C-alpha cells in the first residue's frame, strides 16, 4: 500500500490530479486487489495528505484534488471479494478449501503445517510443484515419524522442506498462496481431521494479514533445518 500512498502524495505536489495520474493510481489499486479495510485506510491517508497541503490560497484546488482522489477509490469495494471465508470439520469443507487454495496458486505456495498425511492434499501440492509453482514446506520433526506422514514423499518430489529440530513443536497450520492470501486454522492436514475432529479453516484475502504470515514464514525458513 505504501507505493499507492506515495503516488497520491506525488499527484498533489502540483495540486492537479491529472488523467495520467488517475489512470496510474487506478491501475495500481486494481492490481493490488485491496480489501475494503485497506481501501478505507488509503482513503483516510488521502485526507491526511490534503490537510498537510491545504491553506487559504489553494483550498479550492485541494478540495477538487481530494474529490478526484476519492473518485479513484469509488467502486473498488464492489470488486473486493469476501475477505474471510470460514469452514469446519468433521466433514469435507476444510479439506476442500485447502485443495481449492492449492489449486489456485499460480506463482508461489508457502506451507507451514504441523503434520501432513492426507494423500489427496499431498498430491495436489505435488501437482502445483509440477506446474512450476514455487512450493516450500515447513513441518515439525517429530511428526515425520507418524504413520502415513507424507513429508518424505513431498521431499522426494523435489519440494524444498525444512523442519523444526528443537525440543519444541512447530505447531502452525497455515499456507500462503501467491503472497496474496492466507489459509489457516486449527485443521491439521490429515484424514483424521477430516473424518473425526472438530477443526476449522479460514481463508483470509487481505494483504495486511498475508504480509504478517509471510514475515513469520520467512523467519522460520531461515531458522529451521533442511530435511
Active-site residue flag, 178: yes
Percent of the chain at pLDDT exceeding 90: 53
CB atoms within 10 A of CB 201: 25
pLDDT tier at 79, thresholds 50, 70, 90 = very low
Distance, in Å, from the CA atom of 9 to the CA atom of 45, rounded to the nearest integer, reads: 10
Distance, in Å, from the CA atom of 191 to the CA atom of 63, rounded to the nearest integer, reads: 59
CATH number for region 84-226: 3.30.870.10
**Residues 154-205: pLDDT tens digits?**
999 999 999 998 889 999 999 999 988 999 999 999 999 999 999 999 999 8
Cell of 77: 469495494
**Residues 91-131: pLDDT tens digits?**
999 999 999 999 999 999 999 999 999 999 999 999 999 99
Distance, in Å, from the CA atom of 93 to the CA atom of 74, rounded to the nearest integer, reads: 34
List the beta bridge partners of residue 113: 173
pLDDT tier at 68, thresholds 50, 70, 90 = confident
Q: Tell me the longest C-alpha to C-alpha distance in the chain.
A: 75
Distance, in Å, from the CA atom of 55 to the CA atom of 84, rounded to the nearest integer, reads: 42
Where do the domains of the chain lie?
2-79, 84-226
Distance, in Å, from the CA atom of 191 to the CA atom of 148, rounded to the nearest integer, reads: 10
> Which listed residue (6, 171, 198, 219) is catalytic?
171
pTM of the full structure = 0.66
Distance, in Å, from the CA atom of 169 to the CA atom of 167, rounded to the nearest integer, reads: 7
Percent of the chain at pLDDT exceeding 70: 94
> Which listed residue (173, 198, 214, 219) is catalytic?
173
> Residue 198, SS3?
coil
Amino acid at each position: 500500500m505504501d507505493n499507492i500512498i506515495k503516488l497520491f502524495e506525488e499527484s498533489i505536489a502540483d495540486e492537479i490530479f491529472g488523467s495520467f495520474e488517475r489512470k496510474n493510481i487506478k491501475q495500481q489499486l486494481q492490481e493490488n486487489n485491496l480489501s475494503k479495510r485497506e481501501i478505507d485506510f488509503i482513503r483516510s491517508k488521502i485526507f491526511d495528505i490534503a490537510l498537510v497541503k491545504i491553506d487559504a490560497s489553494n483550498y479550492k484546488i485541494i478540495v477538487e484534488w481530494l474529490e478526484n482522489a476519492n473518485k479513484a477509490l469509488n467502486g473498488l469495494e464492489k470488486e473486493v471479494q469476501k475477505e474471510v471465508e470460514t469452514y469446519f470439520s468433521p466433514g469435507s469443507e476444510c479439506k476442500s478449501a485447502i485443495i481449492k487454495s492449492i489449486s489456485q496458486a499460480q506463482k508461489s505456495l508457502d506451507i507451514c503445517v504441523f503434520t501432513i498425511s492426507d494423500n489427496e492434499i499431498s498430491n495436489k501440492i505435488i501437482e502445483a510443484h509440477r506446474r512450476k509453482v514455487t512450493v516450500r514446506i515447513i513441518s515439525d520433526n517429530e511428526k515425520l515419524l507418524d504413520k502415513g506422514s507424507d513429508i518424505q514423499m513431498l521431499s522426494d518430489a523435489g519440494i524444498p522442506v525444512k523442519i523444526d529440530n528443537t525440543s519444541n513443536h512447530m505447531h502452525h497450520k497455515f499456507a500462503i498462496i501467491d503472497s496474496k492470501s492466507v489459509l489457516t486454522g486449527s485443521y491439521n492436514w490429515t484424514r483424521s481431521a477430516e473424518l473425526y475432529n472438530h477443526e476449522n479453516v479460514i481463508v483470509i484475502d487481505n494483504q495486511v494479514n498475508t504480509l504478517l504470515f509471510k514475515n513469520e514464514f520467512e523467519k522460520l525458513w531461515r531458522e529451521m533445518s533442511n530435511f
